[in-house]
């Protein structure tokens, strides 16, 4: 890969290409629909001698992540991928990874969680992991997934926290588009070899994971928070540097046609693409609508969110996820971020597309027309 | 001849957090002395994790990573691969896990690591219960043993971990005991020289959990082997069984008598346990015959 090239890739294979370009040294991975093509292309690259990594295929996702953590602590760059139940099975180890400050990068394909069993796009799987201490990116397209994996490595290694790059099942994971695959030299310049000063090594002798005092634990959590705060700036810097190298910038949040907007929609992942269509249609019929696409959910860019939404009369949050007894998780995140804001918008929470239900642009237009005519319900409503 | 004394500069330092008379600490002290300094240990939640010391202190002179209880073999696999990726092929990856983390919650990933023939040395410090949480039963607890979760005695037999692991066809699976130190040291040396998946199961009499006198750990360790309740044997490549201590000159009752966990056993139960041990012994003798090793299909 001496030259950048344009390949017709789906979101999953775009992630495999990103993993290859990042030169991970250890890749533990376990198959699960709809993540499996990521694994398959990586093992194919490896078999062809195009990826020089230790590929580990244990018996479960729990063991996959359990292998990732000390591999990362030993100083290796580590990549893996999963989805849905696999991510939930990892839950315990997600905390271990973040607590160990191991900058693992993992792609997660957002898929419904059981029961009942289903395979459709739904972000409850990763949103249920938001308190584990992982950076969380949400991607709208195969190109963005490729770019995000590479940016995630850079940010994760700079701040010492693991990062998850999420994209929606099938809408992104299995949809083909022309993807710019950067030259290896470009990525090598962007992502220097991972060489942490602290690592598990007989020469250094330091250990990780022993029992700590209350005070040490407390200070450790504070340090994780400080790393999250640094991650915001690091993510912006990585995106700007990526734009300089490739011409592509995504921001940590993107404002689409928000100028003079009387209503702004907030969404994650593939819903953003559909919403863009709806915004154009609404603008054409004279409704000043805009989209705020949140690319980074952890750390939550609260200051940028508040700046972007201050003075907007109505905000509609679209949730392709469901927290029973609460409603939309993103709805709560946005309301929390805006609390106490002068000229705070009215925030409407809409459970749109839960379980992979199709949400066409026309439906979003209907939801907007209905919402701006009435006061928001306190709770999320089924959209 | 093997020198019995550990190195003058021990790998497990004094001042550690083990109970007085602990066979876990004594066993690990000798194992580590043979493994040497070019090693990294994986230690799940267990007595050994406590003995290893609270951060920022450590009683071990090699780096330790403490994974979740069920993930030792997986964590060791990841660590091994990272070291390999960095060209550190000579650095040993050593697991020091308890029986709960091995026979029970950790068995799934242990089996997977064995199937992949990961180049790790897994040491199970088998004290036949969850001693770190107050002596509950594990699947390594023998029949009739009283634990805090089997107050009238465990109704089922001890799981045969070594046979299970040997059936994976791994290069080396062996039992050992601090009560037979030359045999233990020879097995550590042997395991250290082999590449691929190796597992040693060390019987670790627990002063507190077994109800032993403070100085009775070694006596219990010897009795366990001499009565056949814990035979010393090794299995190479899944089918070459070798019995390492063939003299069997002690009734099981002797072994039971030094422990409070078998208190109040009826003669009929003692006889039943003796019969179970006899049966296990005959099974091992058959497997140790040159032509009758357990060749897995």
Residue keyed to tokens 């109800």: B211
Cα distances (angstroms) measured from residue A326 to each of A315, A354, A382: 18, 14, 12
Q: What are the start-end ranges of the H helices in chain A?
A: 11-22, 36-47, 61-73, 84-89, 91-99, 124-127, 142-159, 184-190, 214-246, 271-284, 302-309, 329-338, 361-372
**DSSP characters for B267-297?**
HHHHHHHHHHHHHHHHHHHHHTSTT------
Integer Cα distance of A82 and A162 in angstroms: 14
Predicted pLDDT at B1? 47
3-class SS at B216? coil
Cβ–Cβ < 8 Å for A53, B85: yes
Of A57, A75, A207, the CB nearest to B82: A75
CB count in 10 Å sphere of residue A218: 11
Residue of chain A with shortest Cα separation from B48: A210
Least Cα distance to B6 among B35, B43, B39 occurs for B35
Interface of A with B in 62-101 (CB under 8 A): 62-64, 66-76, 78, 92-93, 96
Cβ–Cβ < 8 Å for B14, B58: no
Residue A217 CB partners (closer than 8 Å, separation 6+)? none
Residue keyed to tokens 């009758």: B292
Integer Cα distance of B99 and A185 in angstroms: 49
| Strand pairing class (B172-177; B233-236) | antiparallel
**DSSP characters for A1-38?**
--S-EEEEEEHHHHHHHHHHHH--SEEE----TTTHHH
**DSSP characters for A108-177?**
EEE---SSSP--S--THHHHTTGGGS-EEEEESSHHHHHHHHHHHHHHHHHHT--EEEEEETTTTTT-EE
Residue B3 CB partners (closer than 8 Å, separation 6+)? none
Task: Establish whether the linkage from the previous residue to A331 is cis, with ω within 30° of 0.
Answer: no
Residue of chain A with shortest Cα separation from B77: A67
Question: In this complex, how many residue pairs, one in chain A and one in chain B, have their CB atoms less than 8 Å apart?
Answer: 150
Cα distances (angstroms) measured from residue A192 to each of A5, A181, A251, B95: 21, 18, 22, 32
Of B54, B61, B82, the CB nearest to A74: B82
Cβ–Cβ < 8 Å for B147, B261: yes
To the nearest whole number, what is the mean pLDDT of chain B?
95
Cβ–Cβ < 8 Å for A292, A254: yes
pLDDT digits (tens, 9 = 90+) for A79-111: 999 999 999 999 999 999 999 999 999 999 999
Q: How far is B143 from chain A (nearest CA, A)?
A: 31
Integer Cα distance of B212 and B270 in angstroms: 19
Predicted confidence (pLDDT) at residue B292 exceeds the cutoff of 70 = no
Integer Cα distance of B114 and B108 in angstroms: 10
Q: How far is A116 from chain B (nearest CA, A)?
A: 26
Two structure tokens written together for B72: 């030792």
Predicted pLDDT at B290? 77
Q: Would you put residue B117 in left (φ > 0), alpha (ψ -120 to 50) or beta?
A: left
pTM tops 0.90: yes
Cβ–Cβ < 8 Å for B117, B199: no
Integer Cα distance of A123 and A318 in angstroms: 11
Q: How far is B81 from chain A (nearest CA, A)?
A: 6
Predicted pLDDT at A373? 85
Of B60, B70, B86, the CB nearest to A76: B86
Two structure tokens written together for B290: 């040159």
Rounded (5°) CA angle A241-A243-A247: 150
Stronger pLDDT, B293 or B236, i.e. the higher one: B236
Predicted confidence (pLDDT) at residue B6 exceeds the cutoff of 80 = no
Collect all residues of chain B within an 8 Å Cβ-Cβ radius of residue A22.
none
Burial of A378 (0-12, 13-18, 19+ CB in 10 A): exposed
Rounded (5°) CA angle A202-A208-A212: 140
Rounded (5°) CA angle B30-B31-B37: 105
Residue B179 is given by DSSP the state: T
Collect all residues of chain A within an 8 Å Cβ-Cβ radius of residue B83.
74
Of A28, A75, A201, the CB nearest to B78: A28
Residue A328 CB partners (closer than 8 Å, separation 6+)? A317, A319, A321, A322, A349, A350, A351, A380
Per-residue pLDDT of chain A (383 residues; tens, 9 = 90+): 679 999 999 999 999 999 999 999 999 999 999 999 999 999 999 999 999 999 999 999 999 999 999 999 999 999 999 999 999 999 999 999 999 999 999 999 999 999 999 999 999 999 999 999 999 999 999 999 999 999 999 999 999 999 999 999 999 999 999 999 999 999 999 999 999 999 999 999 999 999 999 999 999 999 999 999 999 999 999 999 999 999 999 999 999 999 999 999 999 999 999 999 999 999 999 999 999 999 999 999 999 999 999 999 999 999 999 999 999 999 999 999 999 999 999 999 999 999 999 999 999 999 999 998 888 888 999 98
Predicted confidence (pLDDT) at residue B297 exceeds the cutoff of 60 = no
What is the edge-to-edge ordering of all strands in the sheet holding B39-42?
B64-65, B39-42, B92-98, B121-126, B198-203, B172-177, B233-236, B240-243
Integer Cα distance of A320 and A126 in angstroms: 11
Least Cα distance to B288 among B231, B249, B217 occurs for B231
Two structure tokens written together for A341: 């804001």
Residue A178 is given by DSSP the state: E
> Do B74 and A212 lie within an 8 Å CB cutoff?
no
A98-102, B5-9, B220-224: range with lowest mean pLDDT = B5-9
């Amino acid at each position: 890969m001496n030259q950048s090239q344009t390949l017709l890739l789906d979101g999953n294979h775009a992630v495999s290409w990103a993993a290859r370009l990042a030169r991970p040294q250890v890749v533990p991975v376990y198959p699960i629909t709809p993540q499996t093509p990521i694994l398959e292309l990586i093992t194919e690259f490896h078999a062809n001698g195009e990826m020089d990594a230790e590929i580990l295929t244990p018996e479960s996702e729990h063991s996959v992540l359990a292998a990732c953590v000390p591999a990362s602590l030993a100083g290796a760059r580590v990549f893996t991928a999963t989805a849905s139940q696999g991510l939930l099975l990892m839950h315990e180890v997600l905390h271990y990874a973040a607590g160990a400050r191991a900058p693992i990068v993992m792609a997660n394909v957002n898929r419904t969680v059981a029961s009942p069993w289903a395979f459709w796009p739904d972000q409850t799987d990763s949103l249920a992991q938001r308190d584990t201490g992982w950076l969380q990116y949400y991607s709208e397209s195969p190109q963005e997934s490729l770019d995000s994996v590479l940016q995630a490595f850079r940010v994760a290694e700079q701040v010492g926290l693991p990062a998850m790059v999420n994209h929606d099942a099938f809408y992104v994971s299995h949809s083909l588009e022309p993807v710019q695959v950067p030259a290896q030299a470009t990525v090598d310049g962007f992502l220097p070899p991972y060489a942490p000063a602290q690592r598990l090594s007989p020469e250094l002798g330091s250990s990780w994971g022993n029992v700590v005092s209350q005070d040490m634990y407390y200070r450790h959590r504070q340090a994780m928070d400080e790393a999250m705060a640094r991650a915001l700036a690091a993510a912006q810097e990585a995106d700007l540097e990526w734009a300089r190298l490739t011409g592509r910038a995504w921001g940590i949040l993107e404002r689409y046609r928000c100028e003079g907007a009387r209503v702004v929609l907030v969404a994650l992942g593939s819903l953003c693409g559909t919403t863009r269509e709806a915004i154009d249609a609404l603008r054409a019929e004279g409704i000043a609508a805009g989209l705020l696409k949140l690319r980074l959910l952890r750390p939550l860019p609260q200051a940028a969110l508040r700046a972007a939404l201050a003075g907007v009369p109505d905000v509609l949050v679209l949730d392709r996820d469901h927290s029973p007894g609460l409603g939309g998780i993103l709805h709560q995140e946005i309301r929390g971020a805006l609390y106490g804001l002068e000229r705070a918008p009215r925030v409407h929470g809409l459970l749109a597309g839960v379980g992979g239900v199709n949400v066409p642009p026309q439906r979003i237009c209907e939801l907007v027309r209905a919402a701006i005519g009435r006061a928001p319900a306190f709770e999320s409503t089924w959209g | 001849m093997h020198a019995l004394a550990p190195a003058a500069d021990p790998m497990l330092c004094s001042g550690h957090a083990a109970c007085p008379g602990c066979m876990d600490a004594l066993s690990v002290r000798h194992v580590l002395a043979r493994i040497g300094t070019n090693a990294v240990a994986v230690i799940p939640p267990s007595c050994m994790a406590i003995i290893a010391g609270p951060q920022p202190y450590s009683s071990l002179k090699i780096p330790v990573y403490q994974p979740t209880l069920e993930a030792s073999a997986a964590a060791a696999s990841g660590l091994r691969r990272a070291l390999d990726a960095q060209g550190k092929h000579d650095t040993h990856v050593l697991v020091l896990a308890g029986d709960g983390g091995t026979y029970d919650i950790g068995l799934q990933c242990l089996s997977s690591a064995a199937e992949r023939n990961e180049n790790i040395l897994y040491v199970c410090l088998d004290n036949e219960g969850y001693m770190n949480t107050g002596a509950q039963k594990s699947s390594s607890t023998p029949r009739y043993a009283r634990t805090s979760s089997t107050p009238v005695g465990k109704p089922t037999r001890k799981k045969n971990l070594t046979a299970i692991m040997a059936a994976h066809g791994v290069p080396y699976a062996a039992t050992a005991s601090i009560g037979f130190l030359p045999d233990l040291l020879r097995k550590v040396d042997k395991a250290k020289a082999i590449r691929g998946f190796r597992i040693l199961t060390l019987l670790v009499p627990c002063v507190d959990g077994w109800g032993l006198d403070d100085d009775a750990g070694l006596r219990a360790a010897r009795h366990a082997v001499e009565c056949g309740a814990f035979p010393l044997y090794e299995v190479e490549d899944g089918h070459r069984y070798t019995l390492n201590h063939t003299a069997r000159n002690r009734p099981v009752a002797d072994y039971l008598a030094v422990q409070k966990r078998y208190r109040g056993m009826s003669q009929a139960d003692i006889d039943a346990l003796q019969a179970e041990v006899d049966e296990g012994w005959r099974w091992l003798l058959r497997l140790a015959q040159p032509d009758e090793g357990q060749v897995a299909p």
